[in-house]
Structure 1
Amino acid sequence: MAEMNGHHSLENKEAAFTDDNARSSTEVGLGEETIDPARETKLLAKLDLFFVPIIMVVYLSCFLDRANIGNVKTAGMPEDIGATAQQFSTAVSIFYATYVTFESPWAILLKKITPRYLITGLCVVWSLVTIFSGFITSIGGLYATRLILGACEGGLFPGLNLYLTMVYKREEQAKRVSYLFVCTALAGAFGGLLAYAILHMDGVAGYAGWRWVYIIEGIFSIIVAVIVWFGLPNDPSNAYFLNAEEKHLMQIRARQRAAYMGSDDFSWEEIRIAFKDPKVYLSGIIQFMQDILLYGFSTFLPSIIKSMGYNSLQSQYLTIPVYLVGGFVFLAFAFVSDRMTIRGPFIIFANIFGIIGYILIITNTPYGVKFFATFLCAIAVYNGPGLNMTWLNVNTAPHYRRAASIGFQQTIGNTAGIVAGQIYRTSPYLLGNAFSLGALCVAQFLVLGKWLYIRKLNAEKEKIISGEIEDTRKVQTGDRALDFKYHL
């Protein structure tokens, strides 16, 4: 009888291991209440309808306020404040000094401060800083505003990612994270269009057009902060827009995700585990390589296009289709990635487009071909960082281990912003584009290495479940649990 019980126990573990929802074997054994797929689809549609627009608009405003330095560069801002090319590059890079410093602390503090207070507070401060940027008269003023902006915006991306894990299951997340990166693309497109329109205000009230870019985009962000305050609930499972039945469904989903979310109690042990996890470091280095593209491309695309022979206004509106193609291709990739619960191979595939694109840009090709190449680059620019971020999200549990992992990964990755500001210095930006090409090639090998490592971890769990090897691992909880299958 003992042997039979042991045999059934192993069967249960094997069944649980194949469940991508990562429920614990205890929950499975208890015959946990399930949700009718049609009702869950309807619930997800409602969650998306209320949460996604708010999350997208706040990240849109964040990236607008960060990346508009690229728009004002072509509109004469450096000359007006007496900044040299080197000083302007430093201003671009210095943003990331405070950005990466504050990412992990903000991520860990999200639950304690609560999402509504933290995200709204950060949004208000960076909005005011953006408005004040319109009144700077020296390079020192630009340095100061960029440092404060970085400290505030550093909390948003990891904070929004963690918020998404409080709402959605693992296999639902790439699509939602893609919305954030679509906002990055839309910020580039909308930022270019908005800058194109606002720059026509040059001379209004005695202010240069680039000053109005800062002032108007900062006011827009203040409005967004109000939307966040009233629209983003601290507890998504009891959101104001859910009826009693939908709140019950959210409770069932929460129980299904219990192993993934874990305890609400803060734990230094989970932080320690995160900082010793090899996949966090692999993910961080991959993010660094991919972010070199993201920050170089999103900040300097108007200047890159201008170097192809277009004028200042043309270089603004020609960025729009490039950003839109990059964003919508990422939506398609993320949707399929969620359906297949596969992450790494999609990053490698997307990066191939970027490699071809950067080769075309840096070689002796006609301007029309170079402009077409920016569309290819955009595919890698958004898919790489976005899917890599999701890959870590879905493979780390419970909450505080994930919070520390995301914050640390973003800290490593976003130091790329410092590099991007230094490699894109002078037209035609051969150094910056060649460096981005090299970063993409290195990323390909790193993604493959991480994929092989995670596959090895899954194989090790399978061997432990089948009794082939003894479980001697020091950490056996959270994502290290035997019933937690890593997404490849």
Structure 2
Amino acid sequence: MAATPADHMAEKSVLPSEVDDASLPVATADLTLDPAAEKKLLLKLDAFFVPIIMLVYLSCFLDRTNIGNVKVAGMPQDIHASSQQFSTAVSIFYATYVAFEAPWAILMKKLTPRVLLTSLCVVWSVTTIASGFITNIGGLYAARLVLGACEGGLFPGLNLYLTMVYKREEQAKRVSYLFVCTALSGAFGGLLAYGLLKMDGVANMAGWKWVYIIEGIFSILIGFAVWFGLPSDPSNAYFLNAEEKRMMKVRAAQRAQYMGSEEFSWSEILIELKDPKLYLSGAIQFCQDILLYGFSTFLPSIIQGLGYNSLQTQYMTIPVYICGGLSFLLAASFSDRWGIRGPFVFLTNIPGIIGYILILCPTPNGVKFFGTFLCSIAVYNGPGLNLTWLNVNVAPHYRRAAAIGFQQTIGNTAGVVAGQIYRKSPYVLGNGFSVGALGLSQVLIVAKYLYIRRQNRLKEKIARGEVADTRKVTTGDRELDFKYHL
């Protein structure tokens, strides 16, 4: 099992009240916190931060993927859009989404999380409301481009925020909460769309218009929660008492190697751009995101293709999304407990491969529907666990910010592909492409696992003096006592 930062700390347990603020920069490297007190602190952090983080990501993904719900509710016909034009509208979102991910991630600390995340949330919420008044395909293109530019900063930003609060061995579980929101947005989006589409005709407006308007208003309300609930410095959060703030300082000192300097450095970004882990992770993410964006955007259309009407389609997506979310919570918990990442990505892809094969083969509709449940396991576990695998293996902060931003840029170009391969029921091209992407991902996962294992062994040999240290970079995650999670 991979070593954690706590493995390098002294065995002595220290209560928060025994830590003097003035001694923190020097003494905390040799201190550990009382496990019971730290567990209580984690529960408090989760209770205050996690609901807000989940809600903002839920609203983000809801506003992004509701285009799948309005498609089956008649929007293309009302704005006189062809199938090709509507597919382009789905894909064009990712042009600005991928372009803005890395810049927003790198700028987050300078702009502060509170200002950046709240501003992005408000702008995309207003854009969503405006989408309810679109009358032509040009308006839909413009709205999708603005949504992409704003939402591109949220996921990297939230991931970076989590690394400011939690240790390496605590992160998969917290990242899983974001992907649970992805699943919940599908389930909640289907349920909400089911209800909102019944407003068809209210105020002489189509039901799909109300989907955009109501969901946009919901997102604006979440923006206020972000402003008041996510402090730019989590270690001094308003809900922490004096002892808990001392504990946060101890945890920060324990993670000093992982977090690094507060000063922006281009050299750290350039170091990361030469890191093979980034490109292996990005390639895996691209393959996994083919599934994520194809599945989450077009699941209603896939199920409708099995012979169900539009309202049945909306509520039949709900258990599928819930299955994917719960499976990720379970896998992430074991991944954190054992400090193992890559093997979980590999194993959770296997049900996905089986599921897509069941959908593609001439099986009864009930079997195909069961296949969507199997697909959901790979859809949500793969991207989330792979991103965590990168998060915990890159340090310090600005190197990690660049890694998350550029990895997401590489991965999210899959959204462009997803919009083009899922065009016409029964989506043989899209589902066939997805199972092929899963197969390629399995090969890349093995390659990255072997590369990281080789780097860990090289560090061990250098530390024992068995080989000369010829490495050009020896700081952050390249330090000899920084053990990569496999």
TM-score, normalization by structure 1 = 0.95
Residue aligned with 2:482, SS: coil
In structure 1, the gaps of 5 or more residues are 1-16
User: What does 1:38-437 align with in structure 2 at a 5 Å threshold?
Assistant: 38-437=36-435
Q: Is the 8 A contact 2:3 2:339 kept in 1?
A: no
**What residue number does 2:15 align with?**
none
Report the count of equivalent residues. Answer: 471
Deviation (angstroms), 1:34:
1.4
User: Does the aligned pair in 2 maintain the 1:22–1:257 contact within 8 Å?
Assistant: no
Amino acid at match of 2:203: A
Q: What amino acid sits opposite 1:82 in the alignment?
A: H
Whole-Å separation in 1 of the counterparts to 2:171 and 2:4:
16
What amino acid is aligned across from residue 90 of structure 2 in structure 1? V
**Counterpart residue number, 1:10:** none
Q: Is the 8 A contact 1:54 1:227 kept in 2?
A: yes
Provide, for residues 330-378 of structure 1, a one-character-per-residue CA deviation record: whole Å limited to 9, x for no partner: 0000000000000000001000000000000000000000000000000
Deviations along 1:89-119, one digit per CA (max 9) or x if unpaired, are 0000000000000000000000000000000
One-letter code aligned to 1:157:
F
- Report Cα offsets for 1:263-310 as digits up to 9, x if no partner: 000000000001110010000010000000000000000000000011
What is the Cα deviation at residue 29 of structure 1?
Answer: 9.8
Q: Tell me, in whole angstroms, the C-alpha distance in 1 between the residues paired with 2:270 and 2:251.
A: 28
- Mapped to 2, the partners of 1:28 and 1:321 lie a distance apart of 52
Q: How far apart, in 1, do the equivalents of 2:191 and 2:182 lie?
A: 14
Asked if structure 2 preserves the Cα contact closer than 8 Å seen for 1:64 and 1:191, the reply is yes
Change (3 A) 1:470 1:334: same
What per-residue deviation string (whole Å, max 9, x for no partner) do you get for residues 136-177 of structure 1? 000000000000000000000000000000000000000000
Do the aligned partners of residues 302 and 137 (structure 1) sit closer, same or farther apart at CA in structure 2, a change above 3 Å counting?
same
Query: 3-state DSSP class of the match of 1:83?
Result: coil
Q: How far apart, CA to CA, are the structure 2 residues paired with 1:334 and 1:120?
A: 28
Residues 244 and 28 of structure 1: is their aligned pair in 2 closer, same or farther, counting only changes over 3 Å?
closer
Tell me by how many angstroms 1:19 deviates: 4.2
CA shift in 2, pair 1:438/1:31, >3 Å: closer
In 2, the alpha carbon distance for the partners of 1:403 and 1:174 equals 17
> Per the alignment, do residues 23 and 141 of structure 1 end up closer, same or farther by CA in structure 2, a change over 3 Å counting?
farther
- Give the one of 453, 465, 470 matched to 1:472: 470
Instruction: Give the residue type in structure 2 aligned to 1:439.
Output: A
Deviation (angstroms), 1:30: 7.8
* Aligned residue identity for 2:217: I
1:439-486 superposed Cα distances (whole Å, 9 cap, x missing partner): 000000000000000000000000001110011100000000001000
CA distance in 2, matches of 1:418, 1:145: 16
Superposed CA RMSD: 1.4
Percent identical pairs in the alignment equals 75
SS at match of 2:32: coil
